[in-house]
A = this chain, B = another copy of it.
Amino acid sequence: MTDKLREECGVFGVFGHPEAANLTYLGLHALQHRGQESAGIVSSDGEVLRSHRQMGLVADIFNEDILAKLTGNRAIGHVRYSTTGSSLLKNAQPFVVSYANGGIAVAHNGNLVNARIIREELENCGSIFQSTMDTEIVVHLIASSQQVSLVNRIIDALLNIKGAYSMLFLTENEMVAVRDPHGFRPLVLGMLKDSYVVSSETCALDLIEAEYIRDVQPGEVVLIDKNGLTSYKPFRSVNKFCIFELIYFSRPDSNTFGRNVYTTRKEMGRQLAKESPVEADIVIPVPDSGIPAAIGFAEESGMPFETGLIRNHYIGRTFIEPRQTIRHFGVKLKLNTVKDYLNGKRVIVVDDSIVRGTTSQKIIEMIRNAGAKEIHVRISSPPIVCSCYYGIDTPTNTELIASSNSVSKIKKYLAADSLKYLSIEGLRASVNNNGNDFCDACFTRDYPVELPVDLDSRQLTLFEREIIVT
């Protein structure tokens, strides 16, 4: 998907290692694909929390000097693309406050669906809010809990919130990892010699050469302190892993929800080839997200895999397209065709998903202009028919092309010779979903956690009482 869903967030933490901040920096770098807007690290030396947060990429935010000041043998970090809250420094995480028991920092991946209601209740009881993040609510709940221990305060707070959350807390002396009862977002435990590591994805463990131990389980609260690791299971849990992690979000070299992502994507491609074969000359991916499924498709169909679209790796969020009266460059800034390979060919184009459809249309036009005789679009997931409320920044339903258009209408819009999506059954088979473990609400409208009414419309106006001018 080049017309991409905004990725959400990634969290990473280390407890008990003399280079905790350095390792967290590396871990965040490996998780950079989960959020490019801001990043932060909070470390603790047992006395005080030290933090550094900034807008931008991990590699641009941190340097040796800054890392050297993040002392202590425990640290947590966060990369963010905002799903709630504006993209401002005050919304960068980890979020750090002082409360009755001392300092506490939190890094959150996910989205709470009842944030508005709880925030109103808290404000009515006299709370003040400085950010627009749902994460701030959790800290208020922890601070106002009548419980004594950190873990019990956290459990107390979580009892009030609904939605998706994989969270890391750090106080002067403890680190706590929690995952919501559905386990929407991934969270894994690892060890680097004697120190504990927690990460959104295993690829970050690989980088620092930590050993993968197990996933934090849905509904589990994991306390890590000087006594080691203690697990709590205060919540009844039902697995509802976000299937989009396997389709698009997670890095292909990660093992997410117990599955290798690359393998799973290849399997989606194979399944797609079985379901929707077509006679053609070459199979090409939309890079980079379509590559594994395209390889799977090519293998299954016996047709040659080619890289008919070349990506410019220097494209970033900062590229400013000059205001052209004549034309708009859009996806051409990112992709170019290899004309020699496409000219006169029947081409199968494999992508992982279609969101708005505008980019896909332009890609097909580019391939057509390169001389392709036939263009068959194959999507390795079902049509996205509705928004996600659990931490993925899908556009509103009206912008999702498959929300109100049939596949044949989309085909026409794309000007493709054929368009086929992977079936929901095919998708489930690809992820080896025996136990019905996944949330696939974006394809099925089957939301595992009930939504408050009018979520979209009221959220902003209530929360954004301060606009920061920069």
Contact = CB atoms under 8 A, between A and B. Distances in A.
Given A19-B322, A262-B340, A306-B295, A314 B466 contact: no
Given A98-B465, A253-B338, A337-B253, A299 B307 contact: no
Nearest to A52: B469
A206 interface: yes
Contact of A130 (B97, B102, B124, B288): B97
B253 A316 contact: no
A318 B128 CA distance: 36
Contacts of A36: 314
A341 B59 contact: no
A312 B313 CA distance: 11
B466 A98 contact: yes
Contact of A340 (B29, B260, B295, B341): B260
Given A26-B322, A128-B98, A341-B262, A253 B469 contact: no
A264 B306 CA distance: 13
A262 B139 contact: no
Given A26-B329, A30-B312, A465-B48, A320 B64 contact: yes
A103 B209 contact: no
Interface residues of A, number: 99
Q: Give the interface SS of chain A, mostly helix, strand, loop or mixed.
A: mixed
Interface stretch (A66-74, A239-247, A398-406, A432-440): A66-74
A3 interface: no
Interface in A40-93: 42, 48-52, 57-60, 62-64, 66-67, 69-70
A332 B29 CA distance: 11
Contacts of A326: 19
A232 interface: no
Interface string A308-348: 00101111101110111011010011001111110000000
A3 B58 CA distance: 23
A62 B126 contact: no
A467 interface: yes
Contacts of A143: 123, 126-128
B262 A338 contact: yes
A207 B329 contact: yes
B464 A99 contact: no
A99 B128 contact: yes
16 contacts: A51-B466, A52-B468, A63-B320, A69-B469, A98-B123, A98-B463, A100-B124, A102-B465, A123-B143, A126-B140, A127-B127, A206-B332, A206-B336, A262-B341, A292-B307, A313-B313
